[in-house]
Structure 1
Amino acid sequence: MNQFQYLKPLETSVAIKSLTKDPNTHFLAGGTNLVDMMKMGLVTPHKLVDINRLPLKSIAKTSTGLHIGALASNSEVAEHGDIKANYPLLSLAINAGASPQLRNMATVGGNLMQRTRCPYFFDLTMPCNKRLPGSGCAALAGYNRMHALFGASDKCIAVNPSDMNVAMVALDAVVHVSGPKGARAIKFADFHRLPGDHPEFDNTLQKDELITSVELPASATSFNKHVYYLKIRDRTSYAFALVSVAAALHIENNAIVGARLAMGGVAHKPWRLTTAEAFLKGKSVTEDTFKQAALIAMQGAKAYEYNQFKLKLAPNAIIQSLKIASGLVTA
């Protein structure tokens, strides 16, 4: 690990200013991803700015929804009373990720900034456009079992590894950030990027900006009863998703009034299934309805040599998550 300066500011403005002075500066919160990358030589910061003393840990109701500070831990969020009662999909998704020890350390802001777990990204001997733009994508012709079905490019087929992000995008969360030019709000669906020609950029956050909070809208509280987060992985503990599905339904008299549906493990960003959501609205709660929604959701999917199985796994996961969320079957 390289030598670096270590700062621990008390004010958000001071933390942000430290980024503008040296572009090779990184914020440190829980460090569950950043420290690993530093140990591997993937990241070699000149300066680490420990932001844990900033006042960004609160979770509180607002006039428009629920405010979650960027430094709130994953465990605190998952077990918070208001979230379990009004946004249970988020609690389920967070508890499906990592391990209890990591969830105790990891923060909401850090989870948003989590890098891909593509093995070629972590292997410094292999080409990776995300790590070194222009070097190539080893996963394209390599062992791509964990890789994308949607939104990939010939530059990168890696996936976003977060479970939390899948629920956040389904709930229409908003990311609040602050920088030298002031504060701004970013729709969660717009925060993460598809790889395109520049897979080195995971999100739309500017280099000199800091995530300060995430807001869950009050409108999402109508999806607090019929919810389920299905995560399919190689082992039940501390493994990333092959495919995951966040499903939330608003049901009245056996009719679907509204639907929220998103997938993880299938794209460079949490993948919102808006077309399938639109199809489900107004339909009856039946297995046939869910099968049709799954077919719609899979339109445009493209597999690679070793992840062909996902073309069958993903729609089955959608169907199963909707069946459990609706109460047609039990988990």
Structure 2
Amino acid sequence: EETAEGGLRVGAQVRNSDLAADPRVRSRYPMLTQALLAGASGQIRNKASTSGNLLQRTRCPYFYDRNMPCNKREPGTGCAALQGFNRMHAVLGESEACIAVHPSDMAVAMAGLDARIETISPGGETRTISIGDLHRLPEATPHVETVLGHGEMIAAVTLPPPPPGQQVYRKVRDRASYAFALVSVAAIVEKSGDRIRSARIAMGGVAAKPWRATEAEHMLTG
């Protein structure tokens, strides 16, 4: 639904396929549509929800292999990925306890759009969290993946009014569809002649959370 500020409020259970196809999203937040269509398969997008996409767990093969040690699955057992096959693991914000990455495409685009997460607790208390603050870096507790409290649920995601500039989402992966990102980039660039007036850059496939490249943004506009 529309917000008074000119943005969009997206309910937690809105399906990824419906969000990608919404005319307002396609025209005002095209990189969000591009990111959603780059993720998973059509069948999964028809079932996946906004909140479920944000809260999905890593696709690290060592996390899923119960024969391997994994601090995210069983704290204190170690991280097999550190000395294993780690081509698709974190290069930013990693720790000695975990190098798994967050798999969401949608979250990367929402990070570039400065989305806000609305939550509700079991007692009815509500709060708003910046998407950049929703996911935690692994540090010594990789099993604690978000800042949500016990029983706290995502109620909606609010997109601010679309920023000026051109939007694009690009994803590098091993095959053309149904593959997680080796690296992805959501970018919004506003130009004036030959100068860049403003820039937003978020990356996926490189960390345990969507990674906002603020230093690169400042370099482009400075």
The interval holding the TM-score normalised by the smaller chain is over 0.9
CA–CA distance in structure 2, aligned partners of residues 97 and 256 of structure 1: 29
Cα deviations by residue, 1:93-129 (Å, 9 ceiling, x for unpaired): 1111101111111000000101000000000111000
* Structure 2 contact 187–199 (Cα < 8 Å) conserved: yes
State the match for 2:142 in structure 1: 199
Q: Distance in 2 between matches of 1:188 and 1:199?
A: 18
Q: Which residue pairs with 1:269 in the alignment? A: 209
Q: Name the SS for the 1:229 alignment partner.
A: strand
The DSSP-based 3-state class of the residue aligned with 2:149 is coil
| Equivalent position amino acid for 2:89 in 1 | H
Alignment-derived partner of residue 110 in structure 2? 168
Q: How many residues align?
A: 220
Establish whether residue 259 from structure 1 lines up as the match of residue 199 from structure 2: yes
Q: Taking structure 1 as the reference length, what is the TM-score of the superposition?
A: 0.65
Distance 2:40 2:60 in 1: 16
Give a deviation string over 1:11-52, Cα, whole Å, max 9, x none. Answer: xxxxxxxxxxxxxxxxxxxxxxxxxxxxxxxxxxxxxxxxxx
What root-mean-square deviation, in Å, do the aligned CA atoms of Structure 1 and Structure 2 show? 1.0
AA partner of residue 89 (structure 1): M
Higher relative contact order (CA 8 A, sep 6+): 2
> Which among 159, 166, 179 is matched to residue 216 of structure 1?
159
Q: Which amino acid aligns with 1:238?
A: Y
Cα drift, residue 221 of structure 1: 3.3
Identity value in percent: 52
Separation of aligned partners in 2, 1:279 and 1:89: 22
For residues 64-143 of structure 1, what are the structure 2 equivalents within 5 Å?
64=5, 65-143=7-85
More helix by share: 1
Using the TM superposition, give the Cα deviation of residue 252 of structure 1 relative to its aligned residue in structure 2, in angstroms: 2.3
CA distance in 1 between partners of 2:101 and 2:4 (Å): 35
Q: Secondary structure at the match of 1:222?
A: coil
Match of 1:183 among 126, 135, 139: 126
- Counterpart of 1:63, as a letter, is A
User: Partner residue of 1:236?
Assistant: 176
Amino acid at match of 2:201: L
Does the 8 Å CA contact 2:29/2:167 hold for their aligned counterparts? no
Deviation, structure 1 residue 253: 2.2
Tell me the residue number matched to 1:320.
Answer: none
Which segments of 5 or more consecutive residues in structure 1 lack a partner in the other structure? Answer: 1-59, 283-331
Higher Rg: 1
* Alignment correspondent of 1:6: none
* Cα separation, 1, equivalents of 2:25 and 2:148: 26
Give deviations 1:268-302, integer Å, cap 9, x for gaps: 100100111111126xxxxxxxxxxxxxxxxxxxx
TM-superposed CA distance for 1:135, in Å, is: 0.5
In structure 2, distance between residues paired with 1:202 and 1:147: 16
Matching residue's letter, 2:217: E
Alignment of 1:15-26 (within 5 A): none
Q: Which SS does the other structure have where 2:66 is aligned? A: coil
Show structure 2 runs of 5+ residues with no match.
none
Amino acid of the structure 2 residue aligned with 1:106: A
Write the distance in 2 (CA, Å) between the matches of 1:80 and 1:254: 33
Displacement of 1:248 after TM fit? 1.1
Please tell me the residue identity of whatever aligns with 2:174.
Answer: D
1:155 alignment partner in structure 2: 97
Shift of 1:236: 0.7
TM-score between the two structures when normalised by the length of structure 2: 0.96
